[in-house]
Amino acid sequence: MDRKEPVEKKLHIEVQEYDFITDGENKRILCNGEDIQKETQNACLIYIYESPSELVLKVVEGDGKDSEKCRFKLKKSLFEGIPDEDKEDEWKKFARFLGLHVEFKDGKPVLKAHWFVGITRLPVEEGEIIVQVKPKIENLDLTEMFMEVLSHPVVSAHFRIGEAFHIDIDEEPIEMEEVPREYLLFLALQYMYVLNNLVKRGLQKGYRRKEENLRGRVRGRILVGRTVRENWSRGRKHYVYSSFMEYSADNLENRILKAAFLKARSYLFHNNVIHNTLAAWIGRISLDMEQVATTRIYPSDFSLTNVQRIRRDYDDALKLAKIILRHLGYDPTVKTDIEKSLRKVYPYWIDMNELFERYVEVELRRNGIKDLESWQVFPGYGRGKGIKTGIEGVEKLRPDFVLVNGNEIAIGDAKYKDEYQKHNRWIKEDLQQIALYGRIKWKKIKDWIEKNFGQSIDIECNNQKNNKDCPSREPELYIFYPCTGNCKKEPDEGKGQEFPFRGIHKVGVKVPIEGKSQEKSQ
């Protein structure tokens, strides 16, 4: 009697941002390839504590019975709360698992998604759990948002690309029925951005040995045997084969970059990604890469690369090139079957908070938000780099934006939440946060701007220049949220809208939707 091999347990969960994985309405559950939700309608996941260190996941079907084939054990410590922003190692782990964390609902522990979009593999003792988190806003064009940020000269210079979008190339790839559109498009755009900055500095050059059949001259060492055999024996007395060192950009590192560039360019064109800035990047890169040969690359070539110590920008470019060539093929002269090449993806995440915050900054700098045209923008770049208060427990405050117009100040905070548009309501925690920002002394704000941006601003306080703290004057406060429909500023005093708080506004910022042209915020 043949003994059957045990089947490895596999669970794939699809959920949207901020949803409870246990009871999200838009969740899809596949266990060992079987779409359980489709069969039972109300299938859900339950998390329970089995020991002080373990969190147990199991699938409950419509009849209320446990499905033991979908029972997994997780390390509880990996999902305990949201880490402090200043603790970089913990933050990276938090992002790696898409911000999944334990919250309590009705006294029971449940796992909740956060503001990260992407795909990850959860560490379990036995089997495999794949979690895919999709954008909360349906059909949100992440690629367009990413490109808008990368194309702005000021915003892109401070954009933490590696923290906003990351691919774990060292992890095993994950098999997918359908690969998210943004996965490889983000990768290709990031590669174009990095490569464009690299060629601005100039391609790395080096000495390489070259053999050439020269006419009427000699360069380097004469290859006597080959010259006699292939030239003189055939009556070509004026030709000499020579071996010499040439200082050139046509080296292995640049050949890898060019191969990946050609593949990425083809992929972007295939997906109709069109942008004026992208076209300029491609034009500049193509021109510089003309001096580099187009050749097939082999996986082993990456172990032979030699990057100069002063050209660390090559390290990032080669890492991205490696992923692109793995997906789209190593031969730039051969057309790749896109559908077959994207059956597997590496775990990746997109920090939607960071992406939306930088997108809002682009809109502010391009005068795209009503009533804030021509205001100077001072963004709170970087985690932990806030305005020091000197108060224990509230050591730093980091507004997303400080806006200055003459001797007027406004403070803005980007909130990547769909409740503002979907339910047309205010969120208590956001009001409390923005109100606290509004109570920061103006001298603290001035000192922060001078320290971080090297710019001195002269703010008058009710025409009392000596009153540096401006205690009798309050800044206007703005909450910026993503909007897909009729974006507006509320409350609208011109229409007689009443609001119990003075100087606080919420403003919808138009975000791009796939298949629709983007309109500016009104």
For residue 506, give the nearest of 398, 397, 424 by alpha carbon. 424
Instruction: Report pLDDT for 497.
Output: 58
Buried b (16+ CB within 10 A) or exposed e, 301-330: bbeeeeeeeeeebbebbbebbbbbbbbbbb
- Which of the given ranges, 67-81, 122-136, 356-370, has the highest pLDDT on average? 356-370
Residue 476: Cβ-neighbour burial (10 angstroms; 0-12, 13-18, 19+): middle
Would you call 352 helix, strand, or coil by DSSP? helix
Round to whole Å and give the CA distance between 252 and 123. Answer: 38
Is the previous residue joined to 173 through a cis bond, with omega within 30 degrees of 0? no
Domain 351-510 has CATH 3.40.1350: yes
Where in the sequence of the chain do the CATH 3.40.1350 domains occur?
351-510
pLDDT band at 1 (very low <50, low <70, confident <90, very high): very low
Q: How far apart are the first and last CA of the chain?
A: 73
pLDDT tens profile 150-169: 889 888 887 877 778 888 87
Instruction: Report pLDDT for 6.
Output: 41
pTM attached to this predicted model: 0.80
> Stretch 119-141: mean pLDDT, rounded?
84
Inter-residue contact 292 to 142 (CB < 8 Å): no
pLDDT tens profile 309-344: 778 888 889 999 998 998 888 999 888 766 666 678
Alpha helices in 51-121 (DSSP H): 88-96
Instruction: Report pLDDT for 486.
Output: 80
pLDDT tens profile 488-511: 778 755 555 567 788 888 899 999
